[in-house]
Chain A
Amino acid sequence: MTQALPPKLQAMVDELKGVDDLTDKYEILIEMGKEVPDIPAQKKVAECQVHGCQSLVHVYADYQDGKLHPHGYADALIVNGLLSLLVLGLDGLTPKEFLAVDPKFIESTGVIKTLTPSRVNGFYNIHEKLKLEALKYLAAGEKP
């Protein structure tokens, strides 16, 4: 069974699914990417870099009051749009909630099947890096 997506992410996915034309989907994705705030220069370092992406991508997450706040920036706009689904769509979840989201939701949007394998992997690599952040805080959160 497909698990329900967090409301913010669901809204973004619905917006992409709402148009059939691939160019229109990219247009929406690019606009979504523009909503992602740039990250500070001190976070654009090797430690935060997502490997396996053709473009330069950095991600990290803050943890406040039991909630995870992912941040990131990609130097290519379509990748930044893909990144926005994870950074904006999954913002404010607990690490546990974050980890419950299957990144394969991207397939239902219709934006990924035509991208090059390196970009598709790029999306999953971004998710993987954020997942490690979530796991880090999950472990921390479990401590009394």
Chain B
Amino acid sequence: MAYDVQKIRKDFPLLGRQVHGKPLVYLDNAATTQKPKGVIESLTRFYSETNANIHRGNHGLGAEATALYEQARGAVARFIGSETGEQIVFTRNTTESINLVAQAWGRANVKAGDEILITEAEHHANFVPWWQLAQEKGAVLKVAALTPDGLIDAASVKALLGPKTKVFAFGWVSNVLGGVNDAKALTALGKAAGAVVLVDAAQSAPHFAMDVEALGADFVAFSAHKLLGPTGLGVLWGRHSLLESMPPWQGGGSMISTVSAENITWNRLPWKFEAGTPNIADAVAFAEALKYLKGLGWEALEAHEKALSERALAALKGLDGLTLYGPQTAKDRVAVFSFNLAGLDAGDAGAILDSLGLELRVGNLCAQPLMKHFACAGMIRASFYLYNTLEEVDALAEGLKRAQKMLGKVGAKA
């Protein structure tokens, strides 16, 4: 069946609105995606029909809510190829998933003098928790270099991995550059060196299929809201034996088995890591998002995104004074593009684009080390998703031309 983007757009109520009196062109999908009707209706339905706390009350409503929540966990497990649902921990977001590993696993396993390896391309979410852990433990934080295209340099990773490396954490896809790293090969390098490997899949999960078992990593983290799901829900997948061996992170209800003043025993996986009432409704709605994505099919989605990428690359490269960071071809990338225009302040350009209805992101993109790598204070990022059209790529190019015209001469400012 042909990919009918106009039909798909009708499933996303928000896309029909205007901003500043102009039709919305939503190009901030790497920050968060819009939600299909099925997801929105699922939230309303849950609160209208099934809302109750889970895993506790011995009443029928609670049992129904529990079943929906655990079914959502099962849907996530199937979606990423996890052998069991026990390995799926629901968190608030990718950031919390990574913090969970850095604190629960990290505090128990990383000692003074040990090494933690990350890369220059990491989002602050996969940088700061490791920096904090290194500070706390007296461990050494090492940062792997990038290739000229902004992909993680395997040679640098290899050179920095050693017997002291306890953990190697990297992003599968850069939230800034859109480059797709060879996560399987990088994971294998980390594992060969005896390190625990965490993959930040926040920016890869929305764009292509993942099979966590085939990937071979120890932990994989991503967020629901970047793939059509609600905000406030993240996923941590972990290797069963590691999750079992880790101490819990936060303490409270649900995560315990028995509690007395003398002793506490922990609940089984995955509940050991889900203290307190979890984000029930959003987990249930996330299952709807996954169903929607499955209905479209990865192959069709990837083909559409490739067409968007090719059009965007041609349009962006056709603009005077534009510097595109990251992979320069549609190969090895998703449709996330960060760039600067010579002589233009990214904030100025972003404000003008916004006034034209083009909603995209400017600034350091939560990746200050990467900004430093490219010697710039900020970038303009246009990130596309499955409901964006080729016409919206053209609208971006026109908007950028307008910004250049309004803001003055190309190359006027260094």
A residues at B contact (CB < 8 Å)? 20-23, 25-27, 30, 54-55, 75-79, 114-116, 119
Contact = CB atoms under 8 A, between A and B. Distances in A.
B20 interface: yes
29 contacts: A21-B20, A21-B21, A21-B355, A22-B21, A23-B20, A23-B352, A23-B355, A23-B356, A23-B402, A26-B351, A26-B352, A27-B406, A30-B406, A54-B347, A75-B413, A76-B348, A77-B348, A78-B345, A78-B347, A78-B348, A78-B351, A79-B345, A79-B347, A79-B348, A114-B351, A115-B351, A116-B350, A116-B363, A119-B351
A44 to B, nearest CB: 15
Interface residues on B, range: 10 to 19
Nearest to B362: A116
A55 B345 contact: yes
A54 B368 CA distance: 14
B354 interface: yes
Given A55-B347, A76-B347, 14 more contacts: A20-B21, A21-B355, A22-B355, A23-B355, A23-B402, A23-B406, A26-B355, A30-B406, A30-B407, A78-B345, A78-B352, A79-B347, A114-B20, A116-B347
B21 A76 contact: no
Contacts of A21: 20-21, 355
Interface of B: 20-21, 345, 347-348, 350-352, 354-356, 363, 378, 402, 406-408, 413
A77 B345 contact: yes
A79 B356 CA distance: 18
A22 B20 contact: yes
A28 to B, nearest CB: 10
B345 A76 contact: yes
B101 to A, nearest CB: 31
Contacts of A55: 345, 347
* A-B pairs, 3 with minimum CB distance: A76-B345, A22-B355, A23-B355
Given A22-B20, A26-B351, A114-B20, A75 B345 contact: yes
Contacts of A119: 347, 351
Nearest to A74: B345
Nearest to A110: B20
A23 B347 CA distance: 14
A17 B21 CA distance: 16
Contacts of B347: 54-55, 76, 78-79, 116, 119
